[in-house]
Amino acid sequence: MDHPGNQPAICGNEQAIEEAMNRATPVFLPETNLRLEKIQSCFAVALHMHQPLIPTGEGGELISNLDNMFRTGDEYNAGVFADCYGRCGSLVPELAGAGHNPRVMLDYSGQLLYGLAKMGKKDVLDRMRPLACDPAMRRHAEWLGTMWGHAVAPSTPPPDYKLHMRAWQHEFAALYGLDALARVRGFSPPEMHLPNHPDVSYEYIKALRDTGYRWLLVQEHTVEAAEGSNFNDRHIPYRLMAKNSQGEEVSIIALIKTQGSDTKLVAQMQPYYEAKGQSPRTISGISIPPIVTQIGDGENGGVMMNEFPPCFKQTMAQVGTGGTVAVNGTEYIELIEKTGLTGDKLPALRPAGQGFVLSRIKTWAPGAAEKAIAEIKKENPNFAMDGGSWTNDRSWVSGYDNVLSPMNKLSADFHTAFGPSPDTRDGRYQEALFLLLTSQTSCFRYWGQGAWTDYAKTIIARGDALMRARA
């Protein structure tokens, strides 16, 4: 699959994408040099990278915010950011070439990947290519899937979940190929945001499973123990469950990100030092090493730009294949599954606060969860089911009705216009999908009212005009 350059590669090859994502063979197990019997504990670090698309190009063209930085006199910072997006493509081969055993997980939004391609940053994309395609390098890095438009789940219309997930898969495959995509088994939620409304979380996890993902990262305070389980250990894998109003259940493996939003945790390799004090756990009669998992913005802040590279190199030069080791998420899961510890044997979690709602449901039927929530709000007007993220001081819902209402209308109009079985190769569909997914970027509800919400309104207005023209 080739990337079309100025046009986003977000749809049109669904069958090939689905086949790649549904390959059943392990991807890290045949290549890993790690053996569980030699491991006391593990740590995993992930870097999150994102740049939104904004309507600031010539004639209001949608361009990467990184491109906008280059165009508006912020070339120095833009150059530093661009280097951050490609630096693991140098750090990992350097360490591996010196005989070390580095590991890193990579979460690049689809908008960032598209923006880099559109602005001609082939050097950055090619610098990262070995970590996706080279058999000698790819076992050291794991690419994580995410929402193409960096959309936070609780404030994104559920029918659009799969559109974002598939769009990212298209984008990644267009850049690095279907074989590289087939190695993508884990998912990194934007802003570590997990919906907790029973019906919404069910649709979210079902969409993950339907698009081929095997596991996802979750923030520790966004989940709670399900019946019959406990959540007193943040350093083991879990089975994340969701149950909707009709009593239907779906689950997926979850790895726990501990603590809140703090780039120093990754920049200074905190997971390594915490893992050194850990020892094996026994789950369902099987002994496994624990895992300490962290993710941080890979480019924002001085610690990530200046402290991360030397700390990463120093730490990865210290670890080997025994004792406390670096792993990637899928590598860890495939290793423990080889022992017989499959997902159905893991302790169960559910989104935080969900048990309070589910306990109120007497009859499982459409709308039952919403009815239970309404009853709870009568008793406690402050009760909310907005989900949770890696920080509790920001909402992607409250105060943004002037963006969310038209965004939701655009989504409804899109699905009405194109129906349940659209021709995804049709140019009008592709353009409408591009505007829809771009309008849902979390950045448009992160910086408060002003320029960023105006960007969203501009993009939504274009989508509305396209829908009216189709009608």
pLDDT in tens, 435-446: 999 999 988 876
Summarised one tens digit per residue, pLDDT across range 21-38 is: 999 999 999 999 999 999
CB 294 within 8 A of CB 46: yes
CB 269 within 8 A of CB 311: yes
Task: Note the pLDDT of residue 207.
Answer: 98
Task: Note the pLDDT of residue 244.
Answer: 97
pTM of the predicted protein model = 0.96
Task: Note the pLDDT of residue 4.
Answer: 61
- Radius of gyration, CA atoms only, the chain: 22
Residue 66 to residue 450: CA distance in whole angstroms: 19
Does residue 399 sit within a domain?
A: no
Structure-token pair, residue 145: 């899937």
Residue 250 to residue 252: CA distance in whole angstroms: 7
Residue 303 to residue 263: CA distance in whole angstroms: 7
Residue 137 to residue 132: CA distance in whole angstroms: 8
Per DSSP bridges, beta strands 53-54 and 63-64 are: antiparallel
Burial class (CB in 10 A: 0-12, 13-18, 19+), 244: buried
Structure-token pair, residue 240: 């994340």
CA dihedral 465, 112, 148, 3 (to 10 degrees): 80
Q: Which of 51, 45, 44 is nearest to 300 (CA)?
A: 51
Does residue 111 sit within a domain?
A: yes
Q: Which of 99, 7, 15, 23 is nearest to 62 (CA)?
A: 7
Q: Which of 5, 459, 45 is nearest to 264 (CA)?
A: 45
Residue 341 to residue 346: CA distance in whole angstroms: 7
Q: Which amino acid is at 260?
A: G
Does residue 309 sit within a domain?
A: yes
* Residues forming beta bridges with residue 145, ordered by sequence position: 187
Residue 241 to residue 195: CA distance in whole angstroms: 12
How far, CA to CA in Å, does 5 sit from each of 2, 21, 109, 282, 429?
A: 9, 24, 17, 50, 18
Does residue 144 sit within a domain?
A: yes
Does residue 448 sit within a domain?
A: no
3-class secondary structure, 20: helix
Residue 367 to residue 431: CA distance in whole angstroms: 34
The CATH number given to whatever domain includes residue 330 is 3.20.110.20
Does residue 455 sit within a domain?
A: no
First to last CA, the chain: 32
Could you tell me the residue range of the domain that residue 186 belongs to?
14-350
3-class secondary structure, 79: helix
Does residue 6 sit within a domain?
A: no
Check residue 76 and report its DSSP letter: H
Task: Note the pLDDT of residue 91.
Answer: 98
Q: What is the DSSP string of 382-431?
A: T-----B-S-SS--SSTT-HHHHHHHHHHHHHHHHHH-SS--TT-HHHHH
Q: How many domains does the chain have?
A: 1
Does residue 373 sit within a domain?
A: no
CB 329 within 8 A of CB 186: yes
- Positions in the chain short of pLDDT 50: none
